[in-house]
Amino acid sequence: MNNLYIQEEARNAYDKFVGKGKILGISVGHREELKKFSDRQKELSAYNNSYLGLQSVSLSKIVGSVQKIEDFKKGFIPKNSIVKIRWCNIYIEMLGDFKLPPVELYKIRDEYYAYDGNHRVSVANFLNFSSIEAVVTEFFSGKDTEEDLNYKEKFKFTKQTQLNLDLIESGDYKKLLDDIESLEGDKSLIEKSKYWYQNIYIPIIKILKFNGMTADKKLEGGLYIKFLEHRKYLINNTKRYDYSYALVDYLNMIHLQKKYTIQTQIKINQYIDSLIRRLYKFDKERSMDSIQKDNLLELRELIRGDFIDELYFSKAIRRDIRSWYYAKVRTTIDIFRDKSRLFERSKLIQKNELKLYRELKDYMNYYKKKYSNVSIREGILDYILEILIPTFDYFSHKKIDEDELVAQYFKLSHRKIKFLKNGN
């Protein structure tokens, strides 16, 4: 009885699916057919192929068939009653405990064609599955159009990195690969790719989109390429390799090009702030050798915390990141005075102007030794990022009188500069 009920359910499902196809045909005025693989293959001269193996393929991308055009129409809705018995049996098996083999698909560009398993694809569509397990063989276009050349680059990139990213311009995949390979360490390319995607690519894409850089999912890679080009410019002109530094500079440049006022803020919320922390931590740890890391452990013991994980942006920076970045640059001490308006407590250390000047000068000597041909502005910006913000952020939740705060600030900042000089 139970078996008869399941068979009846399968027949009803088949009739319902066929009926849906008839309604769709009436609504569009004609019967929509599946794409024929041989037609597409001939159009693109796609005869060279490569075995890709087992994959999970979105059903929405299976647009045609290799040899069952006469049995199914668009959406793999049955159009020939000869398939009913087979379709119903597959339906029962897919709802039961039967382990069906993966379907076999041919791929051309981003489209898939069912070679074996047309009935399984049909039933999966009826059941509203999002994807299906498939053994895939890819056929490559023999044309030399820009689209074809770019697709071949994507195939090579995906095979090397196991990352599925969409880019439009020819040569962009090489830029991503160079970025991934620049990561230090003896990990395999696939391991580096996974780390790069999770800790660099995704955080940067999310920060860019949060700050108004719009793109749909297929064009997100283009956002990263534009950022990467700006980072390359900074590397060539300032010798700064930091992703976090380049990202702040790039966002400021974009906002300025859009004619935002000097008070316009880069948008940061708690989640975006956590992504920036991740980038900053990566930048700092990447630049350290073993001696520096040992010195860092000593510094952490001094302040009883993780200096690397201190806020990259303090609350003051969130309020107005552009005012300190684009303020008019004069002398070292004048620049610092100008920036100090953003940090209420920093006014305290200005009282000891001579000591402050000596510290800034000491830091600039270190900075110029590390990076040749740098401006005072760049040195002050780096001082704010490396010394001022994390030091005051460390004291932000401590109850301490003003005189003690000044003394502790210079003590801690002096140790930090000494640590940087000894480590570099």
CATH 3.90.1530.10 fits domain 2-143: yes
Sheet harboring 35-36: ordered strands across? 35-36, 62-65, 111-116, 103-108, 131-140, 48-58
Lowest mean pLDDT among 59-68, 355-364, 365-374: 365-374
Region 243-256: mean pLDDT is 79
Residue 300 pairs in a beta bridge with: none
Looking at the predicted structure, is the pLDDT value of residue 307 above 80? no
Query: 177 and 155 in contact (C-beta within 8 Å)?
Result: no
Determine which of 96-105, 149-158, 265-274 has the lowest per-residue pLDDT on average: 265-274
Task: Name the pLDDT band for 28 (thresholds 50, 70, 90).
Answer: very low
Most confident of 211-220, 233-242, 303-312: 233-242
Contact by Cβ (8 Å): 232, 175? no
- pTM beyond 0.75: the answer is no
What is the pLDDT at residue 88? 94
Q: What is the mean pLDDT of the chain?
A: 77
> CA–CA separation, 275 vs 283, rounded Å?
13
**Contact of 126 with 13, CB cutoff 8 Å:** yes
174: region left, alpha or beta (phi > 0 left; psi from -120 to 50 alpha): alpha
Structure tokens at 19: 């009926």
What is the per-residue pLDDT across 278-289, written as a single tens digit (0 to 9) for each? 777 777 666 655
- What pLDDT is stored for residue 255 in this prediction? 66
For residue 281, give Cα distances in angstroms to 137, 203, 288, 420. Answer: 42, 13, 11, 16
Token reading at 107: 């791929």
Picking from 116-130, 202-216, 273-287, 398-412, which range would have the lowest pLDDT averaged per residue? 273-287
| Full DSSP string of 166-231 | ---STTHHHHHHHHHHTS-SS--HHHHHHHHIIIIIHHHHHHHHHTT----GGGHHHHHHHHHHHH
- Tens of pLDDT, residue by residue over 384-396, are 777 877 887 777 7
Q: Are 108 and 72 in contact (CB under 8 A)?
A: no
Give the C-alpha separation, 222 to 245, whole Å: 20
Q: What are phi and psi of 116, to 5 degrees?
A: -135, 130
Torsion of CA 297, 299, 300, 306, to 10 degrees: -100
The residues, ordered by sequence, that sit 6+ positions from 198 with a Cβ below 8 Å of its Cβ are none
Q: What percent of the chain has pLDDT over 90?
A: 30
Question: Kind and range of the H or E element at 407?
Answer: helix 402-423
Reduced DSSP (H G I as helix, E B as strand, rest coil) percent helix, strand, coil of the chain, to 5: 65, 10, 25
Examine the pLDDT at 104 and tell me if it is beyond 90: yes
* pLDDT attached to residue 353: 64
According to the model, what pLDDT value does residue 236 have?
Answer: 84
Query: Residue 320: which pLDDT band, with cuts at 50, 70 and 90?
Result: very low
The helix (run of H) or strand (run of E) holding residue 236 is helix 220-238
Determine which helix (DSSP H) or strand (DSSP E) holds 13, and give its type and residue range.
helix 2-28
Residue 280 corresponds to which tokens in the numbers above?
A: 């900053």
| Spatial separation of the C-alpha atoms in residues 84 and 17, rounded to whole Å | 11
- Residues 219, 166 contacting (CB under 8 angstroms): yes
CA dihedral 333→339→344→347, nearest 10 degrees, is 10
**Residue boundaries of the structural domains of the chain:** 2-143, 154-286, 290-423
3-state secondary structure of 131: strand
Indicate the pairing of strand 62-65 with strand 35-36.
Answer: parallel
Tracing tokens 């027949």 back to the chain, one arrives at 11
| Bridge partners, residue 51, by sequence | 137
Residue 398 has pLDDT above 90, yes or no: no
Tokens encoding 184: 């230090």
| pLDDT for 382 beyond 50 | yes
User: Locate tokens 């990447």: which residue?
Assistant: 286
Q: Is the pLDDT of residue 76 over 80?
A: yes
pLDDT tens digit string along 145-176?
888 888 889 989 998 999 989 888 888 999 99
Where residue 269 falls among pLDDT bands split at 50, 70, 90? low
CA distance 1 to 15: 21
What distances in angstroms separate CA 201 from CA 69, 75, 197, 224, one per listed residue? 42, 35, 5, 7
